[in-house]
């Protein structure tokens, strides 16, 4: 039932119902343009040749908390474009779209039998545009635009490293940032929802839904204090522990362990008094966080004299095990 509930939640999610950028595999063996990926060293000693063309265009894409943007810059003809792409476009999509915008401007300009170079600092975008296999609408549309330009001109897409001091590249970067901060007015997504964005949305939704479910469970007060949220990284580290150490930590996090407080509650210990300080009940929270007799050990291993239960979530399981070993309590939990 829980799995069905999650699937229903995903299906009704507003973002996941948006138009997709995905495309059934398309093969295009006719790409009448070249992709050039010179190394940084080549840019240092061969910059003049790399920049030699009848017309040079610079493109860039960026993403900020405000949204994504694409930009195009050319000195001859004079072109400056900053385009807002809304909240859901990825950096990769923005880079591809910037190159397509450039292609559209070239179509308007109408060059014929010219040497044209389009510069981009995204190797991923250039490699995708040079691939004969395509599964993205954004990439496919860009390939079609570039092909129309390339059939009547010598068109080359060139990778340019960032921060090389070229005015055109810096202008494109500035325009990209401007485009990313512009508010997009219209229906989203502008370019279709990418696979990576959909996966990120599902992950974020699932994590939030799981946390809400965990917090809404009745009881489990002790466990909720020690496990405030789920963590894939922490779960992986827990599973790397030996069975003995894993059992000890699970006992601490649930409170069902052989510390005196729990043993006294189930009638297997005469009293619940802490064996270390003899001042308070021997609970997992007391031993790990506040027992004064363990202050020195706690500071040497965990870096603090005393802790709150939620602080323990910051430490690796191995650190907690080391702390228990130092107190000679590992075998007692």
Q: Report in angstroms the alpha-carbon separations of 266 from 219, 222, 271.
A: 18, 17, 11
pTM of the model: 0.73
* β 115-120/154-159 pair status: parallel
Q: Give yes or no for residue 206 having a pLDDT over 90.
A: no
Of 35, 186, 5, 39, the C-alpha closest to 99 is: 35
Q: What are the tens digits of pLDDT across the range 164-189? A: 656 545 555 555 455 455 667 677 88
Of 121, 105, 242, the C-alpha closest to 170 is: 121
For the chain, domain boundaries: 1-17+201-216, 18-192, 220-332
Distance CA 307, CA 321 (A): 16
CB 297 within 8 A of CB 327: yes
| Terminal C-alpha separation, the chain | 35
Q: What are the tens digits of pLDDT across the range 114-163? A: 999 999 999 999 999 999 999 999 999 999 999 999 999 999 999 998 75
**Percentage with pLDDT > 90 across the chain:** 55
Q: By mean pLDDT, which of 41-55, 108-122, 157-171, 244-258 is the weakest? A: 157-171
CB 122 within 8 A of CB 142: no
Asked: is 18-192 a CATH 3.30.420.40 domain? The reply is no
Q: What are the tens digits of pLDDT across the range 254-300? A: 888 999 999 999 999 999 999 999 999 999 999 999 999 999 999 99
């Amino acid at each position: 039932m829980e799995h069905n509930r999650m699937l229903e939640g995903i299906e009704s999610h507003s973002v996941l119902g948006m138009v997709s950028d995905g495309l059934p595999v398309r093969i295009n063996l006719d790409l009448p343009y070249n992709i050039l990926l010179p190394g940084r060293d080549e840019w240092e000693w061969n910059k003049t040749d790399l920049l030699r063309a009848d017309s040079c265009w610079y493109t860039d894409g960026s993403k900020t908390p405000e949204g994504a943007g694409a930009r195009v810059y050319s000195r001859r003809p004079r072109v400056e474009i900053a385009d807002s792409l809304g909240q859901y476009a990825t950096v990769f999509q923005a880079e591809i779209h910037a190159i397509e915008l450039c292609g559209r401007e070239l179509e308007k300009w109408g060059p014929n039998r010219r040497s044209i170079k389009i510069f981009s600092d995204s190797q991923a975008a250039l490699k995708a545009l040079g691939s004969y296999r395509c599964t993205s609408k954004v990439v496919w549309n860009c390939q079609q635009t570039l092909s129309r330009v390339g059939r009547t001109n010598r068109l080359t897409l060139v990778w340019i490293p960032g921060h090389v001091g070229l005015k055109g590249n810096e202008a494109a970067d500035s325009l990209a940032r401007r485009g990313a901060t512009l508010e997009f007015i219209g229906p989203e997504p502008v370019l279709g929802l990418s696979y990576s964005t959909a996966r990120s949305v599902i992950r974020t939704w699932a994590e939030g839904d799981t946390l809400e479910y965990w917090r809404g469970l009745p009881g489990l007060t002790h466990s909720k204090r020690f496990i405030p949220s789920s963590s894939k990284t922490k779960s992986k580290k827990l599973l790397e522990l030996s069975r003995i150490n894993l059992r000890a930590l699970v006992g601490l996090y649930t409170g069902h362990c052989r510390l005196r407080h729990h043993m006294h509650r189930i009638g297997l210990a005469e009293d619940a008094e802490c064996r270390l300080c003899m001042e308070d009940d021997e609970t997992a929270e007391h031993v790990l966080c506040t027992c004064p007799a363990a202050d020195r050990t706690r500071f040497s291993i965990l870096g603090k004299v005393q802790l709150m239960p939620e602080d323990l979530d910051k430490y690796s399981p191995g650190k907690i095990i080391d702390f228990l070993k130092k107190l000679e309590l590992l075998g007692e939990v």
